[in-house]
Amino acid sequence: MKHLIDPTDLTREETDQIVDLALEIIDHREDWQEKMAHRKLSTLFYEPSTRTRLSFTAAMMELGGNVLGFADAANSSVSKGETVQDTVRVVSSFVDIIAMRHYIEGAQLYASEVSPVPIINAGDGSHSHPTQTLTDLLTIRRELGHIDGITIGFCGDLRFGRTVHSLIKALARYKDVKVILIAPEALKLPDYIRRDVCDKMQIDYREVETMEEVMPELDILYMTRVQKERFLDEDEFDRVKDSFRLDCEKLSKAKTHMAVLHPLPRVNEILPEVDNDPRAAYFRQVENGKFVRMALIVKLLEWKNDPAHGMPQDDIPIYNPHAKCTNPKCICASEAAAHKFRRSTGGELRCWYCDAKVK
């Protein structure tokens, strides 16, 4: 059965099929109104959300289906100590498909191990956000007409920005994509993405510290906020929180066809004056999120019993009871997940659930 935990759970072909279906739905919305009649989606959100939860809800409603779940785990039996796996076992007996967001990294992968229905990762800590990636790919297609050959600058919190990590993984499978990483030292891309994605997949990338120096080269400028909630040290957050500001003057140096993307919410990294520029695509991006989630729900349920669309089998877990994940925000630290690891490109063990280093 196909779950969507990481963008690479979808092949490039499957990813394109979902984006193509979203484009088809946009053009013929009336044809999809009954597609999910009598079917149910559960949204289990252990962390706040506006866009992701409501766009999943709107997507299922536009397909004629129903939605149940919680927006705050404190109002569920999670507050009595129910585990992620038990919650999913219970909810899966009521619904056809589950979208889950969790502040714990690897929670959805752990949940998928016991789930009889497809699990969609709607964001796990600072690790991964694959449905935002599908939204971003659809937005790039609609703004530029193609993904191959683009130059994209990622600007902001590349360390904790899960949308950045996921989109880089997905873009690695397109041709001639150039990536420019714009961040100060404290917000740089994690080592595991740099080595196990950028180097392994031979992505053409370079690192700079200001957006001004690369603005004229970009087809896409992908901004993110600094993720305050992920910092363990508030002083460290205060030092970097105002690292970037996109204003109209900086944007005036960009190509006329460049598109500014942002997963939102924004804080202060894009000034409101930019919103009126036709290149500001971030509110169009939000609407794309609903259409691509409609396409995803349809495809995952279509593929559910099709062995041609299972989970990737190229990564075999290594079990080692003596090794330990070093990430305090990993599912291994809060639930009885197995001591499972993968071998990284550099040869060291990485946590199966969150990709953190192991000791």
Closest to ligand CP by CB, 123 or 130: 123
Query: Is 215 or 264 the residue whose CB approaches ligand CP more closely?
Result: 264
The CB-of-135 to ligand CP minimum distance in angstroms stands at 8
Give 6 or 196: the residue with its C-beta nearer to ligand CP: 6
Residue 260 amino acid letter: V
Taking the complex as a whole, how short is the minimal distance between the CB of residue 146 and ligand CP, in angstroms? 23
- What residue ranges bind ligand CP (CB under 6 A)? 49-52, 123, 132, 263-265
At closest approach, how far in Å is the CB of 131 from ligand CP?
8
Q: 48 phi and psi, to 5 degrees?
A: -60, 150
Owner of token pair 């038990």: 86
CB nearer ligand CP, residue 47 or residue 143: 47
Q: Cα dist. 346→73, 192, 194, 343, 358 in Å?
A: 38, 9, 11, 8, 13
Q: Is residue 69 classed exposed, middle or buried when 0-12, 13-18 and 19+ CB atoms within 10 A define those classes?
A: buried
Per the omega criterion (within 30 degrees of 0), is the bond before 130 cis? no
Considering the complex, what minimum distance in angstroms separates the CB of residue 123 from ligand CP?
6
- At its nearest, how many Å lie between ligand CP and the CB of residue 37? 26
Q: Which helix (H) or strand (E) holds 30?
A: none
Residue nearer to ligand CP on the CB measure, 41 or 349 = 41
| 3-state SS class at 63 | coil
Residue 359 and residue 352: Cα distance in Å, rounded? 14
Q: From the CB of 44, what's the least distance to ligand CP, in Å?
A: 14
* Chain Cα centroid distance, residue 287: 16
| Contacts with 56 (C-beta within 8 Å, 6 or more apart), sequence order | 41, 43, 67, 99, 120, 122, 131, 293
Residue number with CB closer to ligand CP (213 or 229): 229
CB 153 within 8 Å of CB 160 = no
